[in-house]
Amino acid sequence: MTEASKLRLSVEWFGDHIEVIDQTLLPGREELRRIDTVEGVVDAIRRLVVRGAPAIGVCGAFGVVLGLQGTRLGTVCSARETLESVAVRIAAARPTAVDLPRAVQRTAAATADADSAEEMIERAEQEALAIQAEGRESCRLIGEYGRRELAGVTRILTHCNTGRLATSGWGTALGVVYAKAAAGEPVEVLASETRPLLQGARLTAWELSSAGIPVTLVTDSMSGAVMASGRVEAVVVGCDRVARNGDTANKIGTYTHAVVAHAHAIPFYVAGPLTTFDLDISSGNEIVIEERPASEVLCYGGRQVAASVPVWNPAFDVTPADLITAFITDRGVLRPPYAESIPRAFENGVRP
């Protein structure tokens, strides 16, 4: 397996521009896209050129830097006006994942005491780089905690894509898989397609096969049959926002897998960093669910494949906390009751 440290990051910073792997083109082409404007950042996040809660957080942070760089010769006042506008635009690009607004706000806040536009840019850049580095370390820790938690587990079902394409490191849910493989433990993955945009089929299957990890693709509607067959020992998924009580928003279809896993007494784990937990909301009822264009369901490959009827296309669903066995985080494994274990994980000065 290729070591995570040798893999290209999904989002990379080059001082005056961002380079991302264009995930809309995979697996057909692996192509880098250069982004050097705030408009480009917002467009890339909205169109899923870059996706995954941690990755869009990093991209958004560097987007703040790009926005400020245009104010290099201006006054502090004009730079702060630009910063406020840029932060709002980037944070609103996708509403469900908490990592994006949190990273944007953190990067903007780092400039608060700067005395010049140049110093604001420097501080914002250093903060964005710190967010990226912390994300990479979070992936490593999640992988190690998950490997220990799933000792003896070989066959894992996952949903969407939660690996190096979606994070700053080797991944969250897939980070657990990579950690097991790196330790020489046998592991194989059943990847659900993740309709309608097929992140599991296009991205997870490509990523794992490229890393030499056995992966079998199933459609989303096959999860019941595959769990009933005894082929799944655990389900491990990522998360885009976790409420204080443990209710979890993740890619649409996750809730279905959780219900089926519960029916078959199969452990269902959610893997993610504390940056994806939102203590400001008490339950999943408060999570804003992004709705995507109807064309994503009606069309495939630029061609309409469905009847022209109304479409409901939520990008995420919410899995109730009582269906989640445990959270695998960069602070360890959190277990029920989550109303106690989640807030406790943020104690002792832990930075959200």
Task: Point out the residues that are catalytic.
Answer: 240
**CA torsion sign, 293 to 296 to 297 to 298?**
positive
Among residues 221, 197, 156, 172, the alpha carbon closest in space to that of 299 is found at 197
* Pairwise CA distance, residues 140 & 136, whole Å: 7
Give Cβ neighbours of residue 49 (< 8 Å, ≥ 6 apart): 20, 22, 23, 24, 33, 43
The token duo for 309 is: 């009827």
Q: In the Cβ-directed half-sphere of 179, how many Cα atoms lie within 13 Å?
A: 23
Distance CA 44, CA 93 (A): 9
Specify whether the CB–CB gap between 261 and 319 falls below 8 A. no
- In one-letter notation, the amino acid at residue 167 is T
Task: List the alpha helices (DSSP H) in the chain.
Answer: 38-46, 53-69, 76-91, 99-109, 117-149, 173-182, 199, 205-210, 223-228, 254-263, 295-298, 338-345
Q: Would you tell me how many other CB atoms lie within 10 Å of the CB of residue 180?
A: 23
